[in-house]
């Protein structure tokens, strides 16, 4: 597996993820097998079951506690801890996670460390040349915008540019701002779990299905249904549609150089996303400047039109 970068729009990267002689556009979704059959163009990701995987499935080995037999390429198991766990426990978990990674060079791995930036940085340094790195506790990070920006910018500056950065379990309305910071891969955990728990995903946030009197989405499932009519299968279909539409919209914006405009529109509906963008602008200006191309027009104006 390796990530080929085609172009930047700020820190965001448009690329191709090469895996087993196939190529997948990024930013994109890893298609969780719990979501059903994957459409063409999506790399599947599946928990390790001992039965192996086909050429279009990336194995996620899970946790060290399950003691999986690691033989095929995938994302190595980690030693998970709580986000706010004491420092010494978090340090031991990172050490154990890196110990397993050391036994399997070239495999994907998990960036553990809880809320401790120094532990996350230690992990990123050790995993800097891995083909794919999964960010642990992603669901907690997106609710702490300052820590989110610190962890992701530090990881993106430390890891190889050709390392695909993967944020599991986040809802699609956050994809744009995370892609802008440099995340390459998302997944469908929020879509599947949301369908089980009656959560209706949209491009602007997450709603409880029970609180909706009509459906704001124009997808085929919603346009012909009432909110009360959506069963698990219908809600899952809608949530998948929103997730797919979101990553496609991000790639279109990247190709056209308009991702920043899309991000500013999307963050208006989520206070943590808005906070992340403000911190990125005010505290991480050097990070943004490093990855932002200077416009040829701007260059000519400042050079006296020469």
Phi-psi label, residue 290: left if phi above 0, alpha if psi -120 to 50, beta otherwise: alpha
| pTM of this structure | 0.92
pLDDT at residue number 299: 43
CA distances from 233 to 39, 156, 219, 243 (A): 17, 37, 14, 15
pLDDT at residue number 200: 95
Q: Any idea what DSSP says for residue 293? A: P
Rounded Cα gap, residues 147 and 264, in angstroms: 20
Q: Is the CB of residue 194 less than 8 Å from the CB of residue 35? A: no
With respect to residue 304, please indicate whether it lies within any of the assigned structural domains: no
Cβ atoms < 10 Å from Cβ of 49: 10
With respect to residue 302, please indicate whether it lies within any of the assigned structural domains: no
pLDDT at residue number 181: 96
Domain that holds residue 175: 2-290
With respect to residue 156, please indicate whether it lies within any of the assigned structural domains: yes
Retrieve residue 161's tokens: 């540019």
With respect to residue 187, please indicate whether it lies within any of the assigned structural domains: yes
Rounded Cα gap, residues 87 and 277, in angstroms: 28
What CATH number is given to the structural domain containing 22? 3.20.20.105
Rounded Cα gap, residues 204 and 49, in angstroms: 35
Number of domains observed in the structure of the chain: 1
Cβ atoms < 10 Å from Cβ of 4: 12
With respect to residue 299, please indicate whether it lies within any of the assigned structural domains: no
Rounded Cα gap, residues 240 and 222, in angstroms: 12
pLDDT at residue number 298: 43
pLDDT at residue number 219: 83
Rounded Cα gap, residues 278 and 289, in angstroms: 15
Residues 6+ apart with CB under 8 A from 250: 12, 27, 175, 176, 179, 259, 262
Q: Which residue has 């802008």 as its token pair? A: 180
With respect to residue 154, please indicate whether it lies within any of the assigned structural domains: yes
pLDDT at residue number 51: 62
Give me the count of residues in the chain.
Answer: 306
Rounded Cα gap, residues 289 and 291, in angstroms: 5
With respect to residue 305, please indicate whether it lies within any of the assigned structural domains: no
DSSP per-residue string spanning 118-156:
HHHHHHHHHTTT-SEEEETTHHHHTT-HHHHHHHHHHHH
Could you tell me the end-to-end alpha-carbon distance of the chain, in angstroms, rounded to an integer?
Answer: 44
pLDDT at residue number 228: 87
Retrieve residue 174's tokens: 């956050």
With respect to residue 303, please indicate whether it lies within any of the assigned structural domains: no
pLDDT at residue number 259: 94
Per-residue pLDDT of the chain (306 residues; tens, 9 = 90+): 999 999 999 899 999 999 999 999 999 999 999 999 999 899 999 998 766 677 789 999 999 887 678 888 999 999 998 899 999 999 999 999 999 999 999 999 999 999 999 999 999 999 999 999 999 999 999 999 999 999 999 999 999 999 999 999 999 999 999 999 999 999 999 999 999 999 999 998 999 999 998 999 888 888 888 888 889 999 999 999 999 999 999 999 999 999 999 999 999 989 999 999 999 999 988 888 887 765 544 444 444 444
Retrieve residue 130's tokens: 């891995």
Retrieve residue 19's tokens: 């895996």
């Amino acid at each position: 597996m390796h990530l080929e970068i085609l172009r930047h729009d700020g820190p965001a990267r448009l690329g191709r993820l090469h895996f087993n002689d196939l190529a997948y556009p990024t930013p994109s979704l890893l298609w969780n097998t719990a979501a059903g059959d994957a459409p063409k163009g999506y790399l599947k990701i599946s928990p390790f079951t001992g039965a192996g995987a086909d050429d279009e499935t990336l194995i996620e080995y899970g946790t060290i506690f399950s003691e999986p037999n690691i033989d095929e390429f995938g994302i190595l198991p980690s030693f998970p801890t709580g986000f706010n766990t004491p420092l010494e426990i978090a340090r031991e978990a990172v050490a154990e996670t890196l110990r397993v990674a050391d036994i399997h060079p070239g495999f994907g791995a998990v960036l553990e460390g809880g809320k401790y930036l120094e532990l996350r940085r230690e992990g990123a340094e050790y995993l800097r040349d891995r083909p794919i790195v999964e960010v642990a506790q992603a669901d907690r990070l997106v609710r702490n915008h300052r820590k989110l920006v610190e962890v992701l910018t530090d990881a993106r500056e430390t890891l190889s540019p050709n390392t695909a950065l993967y944020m599991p379990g986040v809802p699609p309305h956050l994809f744009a701002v995370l892609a802008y910071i440099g995340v390459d891969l998302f997944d469908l955990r929020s879509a599947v779990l949301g369908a089980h728990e009656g959560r209706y995903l949209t491009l602007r946030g997450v709603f409880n299905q029970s609180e909706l009197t009509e459906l704001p989405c124009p997808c085929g499932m919603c346009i012909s249904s009432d909110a009360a009519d959506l069963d698990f299968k219908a809600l899952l279909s809608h949530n998948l549609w929103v997730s797919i539409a979101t990553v496609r919209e991000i790639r279109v914006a990247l190709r056209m150089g308009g991702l920043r405009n899309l991000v500013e529109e999307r963050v208006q509906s989520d206070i943590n996303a808005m906070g992340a963008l403000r911190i990125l602008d005010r505290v991480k200006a050097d990070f943004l400047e490093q990855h932002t191309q200077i416009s040829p027009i701007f260059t000519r104006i400042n050079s006296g039109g020469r």
